[in-house]
């Protein structure tokens, strides 16, 4: 197998630079295993390799793109020819162009574990079986373990351009996921647990099982609460989802296209002084950590909100040119099938001093939100309207009280930031592009009876 | 033209690959071959950002041994490449004892749900680009308050071939075309968005059925309308849902819970309830992959079964679930043609096709007039359900207050939340109108195109997640 970077470079080298043509090749290759067990038996075992190439061509201030789901010379030829043909149909854009090396040093990150490749399939199956057993044994009210999954992937990618970019990186990841149903009488509740890492040593079967059991059983007997306005305490997973939405509004592309509610607000106070929000893909603890962005520039630490004030946006090469600034190394792409866009990889709030229990005690009366639903249908990142389904436990007298379900919580993103009351100390990196911690927010509408 | 005849890999090669997949034992083997080409064009901020073309080609092979499914896929469609994938998929068959098995394939010729008149690949790229520019113009000329427009065009052609160890050999040639517009309007109270899409299992004749001007105008109107919107109320209110996009309600509230994979694992509120009254007697719910050019239509499913009409709930009584090959085998019955997958790189599972509620007798205007106070939902976005508890949410993207039987002020976006079985029993009026709309359904990490539809209807009480005092 040739090195990916050589394949990418060979395509980029075909650019007709004399005619002002720029060519970028993004190539990726990955190997994945996924295992699902049910009732003590393997239900599915899938293993596969996938590879592909995406080619961008820029000429006369216009861009074209094509991809092919294969990695050989004919695939590369097809993608380059199609991308060249597509160039002529784009609108002329003075800001069009590929990334140019900016001298930033890439972080030295160790994201690859050889051990994952050598870990036998049977041991992976045993992990999933073990997880299923732990959940069943965790509580007599666990009625069903719908699925217990193990999955891993080993992926490499490389980017080369005729403008001098040459980068490659590789990573391994693996995870456990379990989905359980608890029942008592006619009542049914569900909970899931997961554990993620770069190698199987990082996985914690006990914690993953306990999470699923606890989340499912503690909701048993949940009722629909009365409508009210109260303080919500968001569990870590919920906060991570919220941060993912929030950071989308801080994309330089959305700002320049007039779709961000934070446009033209640099320097303004958007939250309380303890609120600091950073995207740092060079933090090795983040699952989204990477030395290079999706255009091959070095990633870097970018502060977005500092002590409650809006301090920056994220940019890729194109949005930076439009805004008259430089890329923040924040280009992302969904594999070889898409062109780069702006995105975060490792967003986190600066942790506070209090644990979740202390925050609950401090809040006194409110709602602990265990999970939310309908995020894609109920949150409008342009208007800021926020309305999602929720389940969790009421907080009374500084302690967790009765479970509640089939309710909504609603506010706007702007108001929620302003009303952040406590930021937890319990930071945890979760799957996706953000870290979770407990977050208490005042003055949220609870929709129930 | 009717596009169902495809042969990506020669039948004799498929026979040998299937035999080699079962060489070490197993009850069932299948080869799914796919060749997919697509075009996507995006316009944003007054510019056609780029035209993108893609090509994928490969095969997914599964082998079933006892309760276990082994799966592997490959982009190499040569006999050697396919046999290597078959070996990998068969790795789950440890016991051996398969021996030599001879497989004879019998070709079936499925009926396409509709004819494709103009293959998108026969249309000039410049013609496709022009659609986006026209949409941008129309949306911006709609109102001075429109500050941003983005639009997307997409077409795809998926040629598939399915062969299995039961001797099935079938194929399909699916052409889909879509067009969508998002507008941002800006006013005194901030920004609002409006979205509209049209998508059918047809070729470029999509635009004879609905013009891009119409799609763009609708997206713009929706955004501008909401500039004057007030916060939605909070609490339980009667809700009237306009025909069309409200079909998402049934997709979430009960469709997913009627997928047999949830039933065989006892993880649906509808398990064991065949023959029971699970909804108001006004409710008849159907899943049908054969209804014309709708977004979820297919000639065959991704396991080679012809698509069919499946009545799920009839006059409120649960009649049947939706089945794929494996869930059907477990219950000793046949598949209902609901085995679908995102691509050759994915295992099939039970999925909906076009899911819709049958129309009733009432005049839609009369339903609104007969509602003293409530909410009129003219357009729904997406939704999500927990099949085990039945709790689901769906987002309203165009809604109004109903006061004294009349539609009055527009409302800001909010989610509605309910419990499937409870909501289905609270439907007290169904209109004599009907409309379908396209959607993308996500399940277990796989996305497939689906259709949803319903007549105008009323639910006596749904919890609405606004911020204004009820």
- Judge whether residue A48 has pLDDT over 90: no
Residues of B in contact with A49 (CB under 8 A): 74
Q: What pLDDT does B5 receive?
A: 52
**CA–CA separation, B162 vs B172, rounded Å?**
9
Tell if the CB–CB gap between B236 and A337 is shorter than 8 Å: no
Per-residue tokens: B357: 């509620």
Q: Does B373 touch chain A (CB under 8 A)?
A: no
Q: Does A266 touch chain B (CB under 8 A)?
A: no
Please, which residues 96-125 of chain A have a Cβ atom closer than 8 Å to chain B? 121
Tell if the CB–CB gap between A257 and B67 is shorter than 8 Å: no
Q: Count CA atoms closer than 13 A to A95's CA, side-chain side.
A: 17
DSSP state of A245: H
Tell if the CB–CB gap between B465 and A50 is shorter than 8 Å: no
Nearest CA in chain A to B349: A44
Q: What pLDDT does B113 receive?
A: 84
Tell if the CB–CB gap between A378 and B395 is shorter than 8 Å: yes
- Judge whether residue A29 has pLDDT over 80: yes
Q: What pLDDT does A191 receive?
A: 95
Q: pLDDT tens digits, residue range A370-414?
A: 999 999 888 999 999 999 999 999 999 999 999 999 999 999 999
Q: What pLDDT does B470 receive?
A: 42
**CA–CA separation, A162 vs A141, rounded Å?**
61
In degrees rounded to 5, what are phi and psi of residue B170?
A: -150, 170
Instruction: Determine contact, residues B265/B271, Cβ cutoff 8 Å.
Output: no
DSSP state of A433: S
**Number of neighbouring beta carbons within 10 Å of residue A382:** 22
Who among B88, B265, B380 is closest to A146 (CB)? B265
Tell if the CB–CB gap between B51 and A90 is shorter than 8 Å: yes
Q: pLDDT tens digits, residue range B353-412?
A: 999 999 999 999 999 999 999 999 999 988 888 989 999 998 999 999 999 999 999 999
* Averaged pLDDT for residues A96-109: 96
Q: What pLDDT does A432 receive?
A: 86
Instruction: Determine contact, residues B104/B11, Cβ cutoff 8 Å.
Output: no
Please state the pTM of the whole predicted model.
0.93
**CA–CA separation, B439 vs B353, rounded Å?**
10
Q: Counting Cβ atoms within 10 Å, is residue B95 exposed (0-12), middle (13-18) or buried (19+)? A: exposed
Q: What pLDDT does B240 receive?
A: 97
Q: Does A358 touch chain B (CB under 8 A)?
A: no
Strand runs (DSSP E) across B90-145, as ranges?
Answer: 106-107
Distance of CA A312 to the CA centre of its chain: 20
Tell if the CB–CB gap between A257 and B464 is shorter than 8 Å: no
Tell if the CB–CB gap between B55 and A38 is shorter than 8 Å: no
Buried b (16+ CB within 10 A) or exposed e, B184-197: bbbeeebbbbbbbb
Q: pLDDT tens digits, residue range A201-258?
A: 999 999 999 999 999 999 999 999 999 999 999 999 999 999 999 999 999 999 999 8
DSSP state of B300: B
Q: What pLDDT does B103 receive?
A: 85
Q: Does A40 touch chain B (CB under 8 A)?
A: no
Low-confidence ranges of chain B (pLDDT < 50): 2, 4, 470
Tell if the CB–CB gap between A227 and B235 is shorter than 8 Å: yes
Q: How far is B430 from chain A (nearest CA, A)?
A: 25
- Judge whether residue A286 has pLDDT over 60: yes
* Block residue for tokens 């598949």: B335
Distance of CA B273 to the CA centre of its chain: 25
């Amino acid at each position: 197998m040739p090195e990916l970077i050589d394949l990418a470079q060979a395509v980029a080298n075909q650019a007709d630079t004399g005619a002002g043509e720029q060519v970028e090749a993004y190539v990726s290759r990955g190997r994945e295993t996924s295992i699902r067990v049910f009732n003590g038996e393997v239900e599915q075992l899938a293993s596969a390799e996938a590879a592909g190439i995406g080619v961008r061509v820029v000429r006369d201030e216009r861009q074209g793109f094509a991809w092919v789901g294969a990695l050989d010379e004919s695939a590369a030829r097809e993608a380059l020819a199609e991308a060249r043909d597509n160039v002529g149909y784009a609108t002329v854009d003075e800001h069009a162009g590929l990334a140019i090396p900016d001298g930033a040093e890439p972080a030295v990150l160790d994201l690859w574990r050889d051990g994952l490749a050598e870990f036998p399939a049977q041991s992976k199956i045993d992990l999933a079986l073990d997880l299923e057993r732990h959940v069943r044994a965790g509580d007599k009210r666990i009625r069903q373990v719908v699925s217990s999954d193990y999955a891993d992937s080993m992926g490499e990618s490389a980017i080369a351009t005729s403008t001098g970019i040459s980068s490659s990186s590789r990573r391994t990841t693996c995870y456990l996921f379990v989905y359980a149903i608890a029942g008592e009488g006619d009542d049914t509740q569900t909970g899931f647990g997961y554990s993620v890492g770069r190698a199987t040593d990082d996985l914690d079967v006990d914690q993953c099982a306990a999470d699923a059991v606890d989340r499912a059983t503690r909701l048993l007997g949940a009722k629909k609460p009365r409508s009210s306005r109260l303080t919500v305490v968001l569990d870590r997973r919920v906060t991570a989802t919220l941060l993912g939405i929030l950071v989308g509004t801080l994309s330089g592309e959305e700002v320049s296209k007039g779709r961000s509610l934070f446009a033209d607000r640099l320097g303004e106070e958007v939250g309380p002084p303890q609120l600091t929000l950073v995207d740092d893909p060079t933090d090795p603890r983040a699952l989204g950590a990477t030395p290079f962005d999706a255009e091959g520039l070095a990633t870097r630490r970018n502060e977005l909100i500092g002590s409650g004030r809006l301090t920056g946006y994220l940019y890729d090469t194109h949005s930076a040119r439009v805004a008259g600034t430089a890329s923040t190394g924040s280009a992302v792409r969904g594999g070889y099938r898409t062109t780069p866009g702006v995105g975060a990889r490792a967003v986190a709030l600066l942790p506070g001093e209090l644990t979740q229990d202390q925050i609950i005690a401090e809040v006194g009366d409110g709602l602990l939100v265990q999970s939310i639903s309908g995020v894609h249908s109920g949150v409008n990142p342009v208007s800021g309207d926020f309305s999602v389904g929720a389940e969790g436990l009421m907080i009374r007298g500084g302690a967790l009280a009765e479970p509640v379900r089939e309710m909504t919580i609603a506010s706007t993103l702007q108001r929620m930031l302003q009303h952040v009351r406590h930021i937890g100390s319990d930071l945890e990196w979760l799957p996706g592009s953000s870290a979770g911690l407990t977050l208490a927010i005042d003055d949220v509408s609870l929709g129930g009876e | 033209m009717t596009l169902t005849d495809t042969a990506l890999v020669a039948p004799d090669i498929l026979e040998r690959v299937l035999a080699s997949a079962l060489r070490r034992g197993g009850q069932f083997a299948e080869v799914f071959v796919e060749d997919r080409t697509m075009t996507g064009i995006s316009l944003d901020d007054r510019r056609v950002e780029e035209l993108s073309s893609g090509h994928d080609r490969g095969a997914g092979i599964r082998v079933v041994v006892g309760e276990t499914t082994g799966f592997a896929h490959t982009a190499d469609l040569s006999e050697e490449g396919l046999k290597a994938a078959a070996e990998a998929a068969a790795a789950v068959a440890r016991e051996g004892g398969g021996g030599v098995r001879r497989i004879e394939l019998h070709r079936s010729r499925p009926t396409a749900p509709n004819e494709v008149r103009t293959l998108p690949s026969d249309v000039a790229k410049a013609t496709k680009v022009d659609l986006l520019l026209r949409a941008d113009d129309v949306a911006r000329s709609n109102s001075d308050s429109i500050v941003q427009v983005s639009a997307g065009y997409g077409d795809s052609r998926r040629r598939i071939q399915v062969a299995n160890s039961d001797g099935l050999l079938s194929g399909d040639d699916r052409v889909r075309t879509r067009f969508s517009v998002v507008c941002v309007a800006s006013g005194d109270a901030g920004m609002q968005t409006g979205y509209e899409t049209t998508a059918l299992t047809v070729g470029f004749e999509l635009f004879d059925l609905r013009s891009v001007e119409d799609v763009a105008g609708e997206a713009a109107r929706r955004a501008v309308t909401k500039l004057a919107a007030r916060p939605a109320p909070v609490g339980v209110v009667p809700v009237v849902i306009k025909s069309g996009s409200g079909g998402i309600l049934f997709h979430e509230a009960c469709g997913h819970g009627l997928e047999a994979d949830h039933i065989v694992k006892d993880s649906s509120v509808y398990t064991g309830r065949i023959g029971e009254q699970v909804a108001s007697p006004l409710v008849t719910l159907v899943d049908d992959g054969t209804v014309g050019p709708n977004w979820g239509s297919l000639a065959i499913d991704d396991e080679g079964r012809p698509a069919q009409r499946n009545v799920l709930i009839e006059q409120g009584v649960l009649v049947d679930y939706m089945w794929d090959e494996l869930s059907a085998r477990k219950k000793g019955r046949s598949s209902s043609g609901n085995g679908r997958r995102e691509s050759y790189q994915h295992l099939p599972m039970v999925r909906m096709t076009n899911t819709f509620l049958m129309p009733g007798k009432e005049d839609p205007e009369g339903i609104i007039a007969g509602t003293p106070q409530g909410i009129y939902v003219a357009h729904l976005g997406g939704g999500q359900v927990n099949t085990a508890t039945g709790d689901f949410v769906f987002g309203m993207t165009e809604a109004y207050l109903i006061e004294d039987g009349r539609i009055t002020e527009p409302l800001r976006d909010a989610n509605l939340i309910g419990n499937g079985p409870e909501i289905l029993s609270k439907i007290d009026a169904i209109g004599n109108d009907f409309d379908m709309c396209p959607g993308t359904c996500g399940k277990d990490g796989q996305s497939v195109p689906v259709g949803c539809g319903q007549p105008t209807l009323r639910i006596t009480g749904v919890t609405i997640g606004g911020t204004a005092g009820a």
